[in-house]
Amino acid sequence: MLNEGVLVVGGGVAGMQAAIDIAASGKEVVLIDKDKNLGGHVKEYGALFPDLTEGASLVEQKVRIIKNNPKIKVLVGTEVNKLQQVEGALKASFINTGNPQEQIFSAAVISTGFDNFDGKKYGEYGYGRFPGVITGIDFEHQEEAILKRPVKTAVFIKCVGSRDRSKGMPYCSKICCMYTAKQALELKKAQPNAQVYVFYMDIRSNFKNGEEFVRGVMENQHVKYIRGRVGKVIPTNGRLLIRAEDTLMGVPIELEADLVVLATAMVPSQATQSLVTQVGGKLDNNGFILPIPMAESENPMSLTKGVFYAGACGFPCDVKDAMNQGSAAAAGVLSYLQSNRGAAK
């Protein structure tokens, strides 16, 4: 018995894109998300780089397409707890509104996304202790309130978690340089008199128009980029004293701020590990999906037989890239189903 249904685990932008593209060819798709709503992290984001589309409106557009396609069945508030290869097909067990269910699929896409690094792990910055210290994610979630609250000086600290081997994360989270520049721009636009500083290790704006965007924020908005790490944040006189080093000038510097934004890293989501190992895939040292060597796979998003992945469960990526990977995984699923049917006949 050949069941042609496709399972997509994780309804963020990557998973939604994969579901849309697979269903467009007429295949049945079951899209499962553990959250109450589709859209993953992006639904809570404000403007997205590079064209400043609102995260919520992007998610709305995708959800509308999904709702209008009867081929896509959406199960939210549902967690897949088992996914196994069974005789050339995939058996998934999941709990939907308290009811355990099992279903056979012919292919699957894992798009379980990422978690946010816990800013509290840097005691020196006082996240969760000192009022006024927030993460970049908090900035996105509470954007309106933050932009309204008058700020004399704001400080953005990049690479909080990323590229720090002492915190077990040697990798670059890739998106923080861009979203920090974007948030600095938004703050400057809302409060032109605010002094905005960005402390950086390197500026990695390797996206289309990325370099120009960051340059614009520096040159047109006069956001001050300082190369160096912030050593400590110290609450003083109701403000936050920033103690840092300017490594280009080679001098220690101090400044007082009202708002400190930590660009925290993207870390692998917990759901990824168990799913990937159950279907016979592997994780890399950081806990992201270990890709098959390029010359050995037919599709860039292949994981194991009939299983593909997309988005930040593979490695930190921006929204556009997550959607690209969703589409690529969909193409992989479709060609796999086509060749599989050929083999069955």
Position 170 contacts other proteins (CB under 8 A): no
Q: Which two tokens stand for residue 291?
A: 């890709």
Task: Give the one residue of 47, 76, 241, 253 binding other proteins; rule: CB under 8 A.
Answer: 241
Task: Give the one residue of 25, 236, 338, 339 binding other proteins; rule: CB under 8 A.
Answer: 236
Q: Are 218 and 176 in contact (CB under 8 A)?
A: no
Q: How far is CA 150 from the centre of its chain?
A: 29
Shortest distance, CB of residue 236 to other proteins, whole angstroms? 6
**Closer Cβ to other proteins, 99 or 166, answer by number:** 166
Q: How many residues bind other proteins (CB under 8 A)?
A: 14
Q: Which residues pair with 226 in a beta bridge?
A: 199
- CA 292 → CA 54, 168, 254, distances in Å? 34, 24, 48
CA end-to-end span of the chain = 12
- The count of other CB atoms within 10 Å of the CB of residue 96 is 13
Shortest distance, CB of residue 118 to other proteins, whole angstroms? 11
Binding mask 204-233 for other proteins (x = CB under 8 A): ----------------------------x-
Nearest to 233 by CA among 119, 317, 105: 119
Shortest distance, CB of residue 290 to other proteins, whole angstroms? 26
Q: CA 177 to CA 117: how far, in whole Å? A: 16
Report DSSP letters for 65-122, one per residue. HHHT-TTEEEE-SEEEEEEEEETTEEEEEEEETTEEEEEEESEEEE---EEE--GGG-
Binding mask 94-133 for other proteins (x = CB under 8 A): --------------------------x-xxxxx-xx----
Q: CA 32 to CA 16: how far, in whole Å? A: 10
**Closer Cβ to other proteins, 113 or 126, answer by number:** 126
Residues 243-282 that bind other proteins (CB under 8 A): none
Shortest distance, CB of residue 311 to other proteins, whole angstroms? 32
**Closer Cβ to other proteins, 106 or 162, answer by number:** 162
The answer for residues whose C-beta is within 8 angstroms of residue 279's C-beta and 6 or more apart is: 83, 84, 85, 90, 108, 110, 303, 304, 307
**Closer Cβ to other proteins, 236 or 338, answer by number:** 236
Binding mask 137-166 for other proteins (x = CB under 8 A): -----------------------------x
**Closer Cβ to other proteins, 108 or 265, answer by number:** 265
Shortest distance, CB of residue 337 to other proteins, whole angstroms? 48
Shortest distance, CB of residue 31 to other proteins, whole angstroms? 38
Report DSSP letters for 24-62, one per residue. HTT--EEEE-SSSSSSTTGGG--EETTTTEEHHHHHHHH
Q: CA 199 to CA 229: how far, in whole Å? A: 6
**Closer Cβ to other proteins, 193 or 237, answer by number:** 237
**Closer Cβ to other proteins, 83 or 267, answer by number:** 267
Q: Are 155 and 259 in contact (CB under 8 A)?
A: yes
Shortest distance, CB of residue 235 to other proteins, whole angstroms? 8
Shortest distance, CB of residue 241 to other proteins, whole angstroms? 8
**Closer Cβ to other proteins, 170 or 280, answer by number:** 170
Q: Are 223 and 188 in contact (CB under 8 A)?
A: yes
Shortest distance, CB of residue 195 to other proteins, whole angstroms? 22
Interacting residues with other proteins (CB under 8 A)? 120, 122-126, 128-129, 166, 232, 234-236, 241
